[in-house]
Chains A and B, each alone.
Chain A
């Protein structure tokens, strides 16, 4: 009995010491944002029409981030999935184009914390972009599909405003494509011909700053509450690209509202996240 008691005491002692050490170890949290909002879209797609189409739609964005090494929180991953549905009309309102888009990206961000209350961010991401446009009035070419992959550079910053009860966060982000490839069929290269001859590669173009320029801008302010953070923002996206001499343009301006939280479960709804958990939000 005595031996057992000694063994148990030693075991508890070891567990206690280990627990003390574990409290020193920091653990990464995944922080996510969900944004939804209204968006105004303008585009020119010479495959469908020489005219500019304008309209409104709905946008959804999901972003997530997580530090690679919480002991040294300077490098985080950042993933994003977005969806868009919009209806646009030509300037004379004689035809409409329904637009459905999806975009997914994954990249890394470097955190530069040399200034008080200011965080600077820089990084890059790989992006896959898909847009489906349908002009129901067009008889033989009602659809055009945009496909693209890009390597984007990203820049951003956060400014922390400390109030009595909470710290409000102002965010700004910029992203522009540097290099990639895009699927842009020449007007006249019908999808029927592509489907029949399987000559899809003819519509694939290398892209870089010489033929594709774009800028995504995002401004938001985040107001934290006990377990989540409300986020209000605007996103602007301007894109111009050229393939086979045809110039395409896309412009979008979205008002977004969202929520942000850290993906972690603790017992009890009112328990705060222990300080050893490091979120890329901070």
Chain B
């Protein structure tokens, strides 16, 4: 019996040592750099997919730390430059004086959108309707319904869409314009897509990190687009997208690629396929980064954008005439259906 007591005593002594201490990083330039680098190293989800040699990045930025720490702003700029190596619009560094961001995911590509055009008399005009960020009107002599939705941060309800679809009931088809929609709520992107599905469809898979390694991921989890049982648009629908269709909008376009009667027109979307999370540095700055990668139904990363079904670019000659090439193309397709 004494032997058992001894074993239990030993267990009680040994087991508590299984947990290491929580070490708080010090607020020095070196520790801030190390913490930022480590957060990305252990938690950022696209290091392998983008073939980024993050150890080399460490070597480069660690060696120049002496010159990069003249003051807080120089250090911020250096860390911003380091994060730009990730080429990810979901990566931001927040300080009390600036929020860094990587813009090349859209700035190096044609805009394919002119906000002035959609408000002229050929499209929305002056008498368009507007509810919860959804601006809509009948265009092309009342034959086509047109909705411009600029942000998935503007929440809408089923009731909004019940009214909108009733308003467009006698139209031949519908255009949903999500160009320059930089994203917002993933749940809203799911809800908007749900009106265009007759049955539940898996069009997105998601993984999450399960460890600090660059390839430590969970099994892909299917994310269903659940068909809305009460409100459904069953006529043709065309989604207009461009390079500035990002994040939740990217998810929406990905879902709509699998919707029946739907066509995606325009440019490749900007991407933003990683569900972002945030963390902090010892100096109180916050870093946001992609943490959970998402894939389309063919298990392709949606971080690099969604290809349109029909690639159409905004023609500068049309712009001069006050015409939007993408909307006109969509109208011609819907009118011919």
User: What residues make up the interface of A, taking CB atoms closer than 8 Å to B?
Assistant: 44, 48-52, 90-95, 135, 137-141, 186-190, 192-193, 196-197, 199, 202, 208-213, 240-242, 244-245, 247-249
Contacts and interface: CB of A to CB of B under 8 A. Distances in A.
Given A94-B96, A187-B43, A189-B292, A51 B24 contact: yes
Contacts, number: 127
B130 to A, nearest CB: 27
Contacts of A135: 278
B93 to A, nearest CB: 13
Contact of A138 (B39, B190, B286): B286
Contacts of A50: 24-25, 35, 39, 279-280
B286 to A, nearest CB: 6
Given A94-B285, A187-B209, A49 B275 contact: no
- The prevalent SS among residues of B at the interface is mixed
A131 B333 CA distance: 54
Nearest to B94: A137
Contacts of A208: 15
Given A139-B276, A188-B45, A190-B292, A197 B212 contact: no
Contacts of A44: 22, 24
A244 B11 contact: no
A209 B43 CA distance: 27
A211 B221 contact: no
Given A92-B284, A139-B276, A241 B221 contact: no
A141 B274 CA distance: 13
Contacts of A188: 43, 45, 208-209, 277, 291-292
Given A51-B24, A52-B24, A190 B280 contact: no
Contact of B19 (A48, A186, A247): A247
- The prevalent SS among residues of A at the interface is loop
Nearest to B222: A197
A202 B275 CA distance: 18
A49 B284 contact: no
Given A211-B19, A241-B19, 10 more contacts: A90-B284, A92-B282, A92-B283, A94-B96, A189-B218, A192-B186, A212-B19, A242-B19, A244-B211, A247-B19
Contacts of A92: 27, 282-284
A135 B22 CA distance: 20
10 contacts: A92-B282, A92-B283, A187-B279, A188-B277, A189-B218, A190-B277, A197-B206, A209-B15, A209-B16, A210-B15
Nearest to A190: B275
A210 B96 CA distance: 41
A196 B20 CA distance: 34
B187 interface: yes
Interface residues of B, number: 46
A111 to B, nearest CB: 24
A215 to B, nearest CB: 10
A141 B277 CA distance: 6
B284 A140 contact: no
Nearest to B25: A50
A244 B19 CA distance: 12
A199 B27 contact: no
A92 B221 CA distance: 38
B280 A90 contact: yes
A211 B276 contact: no
B12 A197 contact: no
A140 B276 contact: yes
B223 interface: yes
Contacts of A187: 43, 209, 277, 279, 291
Residue from A48, A94, A188, A241 having most chain B Cβ neighbours under 10 A: A188
Contacts of B21: 247
B187 A192 contact: yes
A154 B288 CA distance: 43
Given A188-B277, A190-B277, A202-B218, A209 B292 contact: no
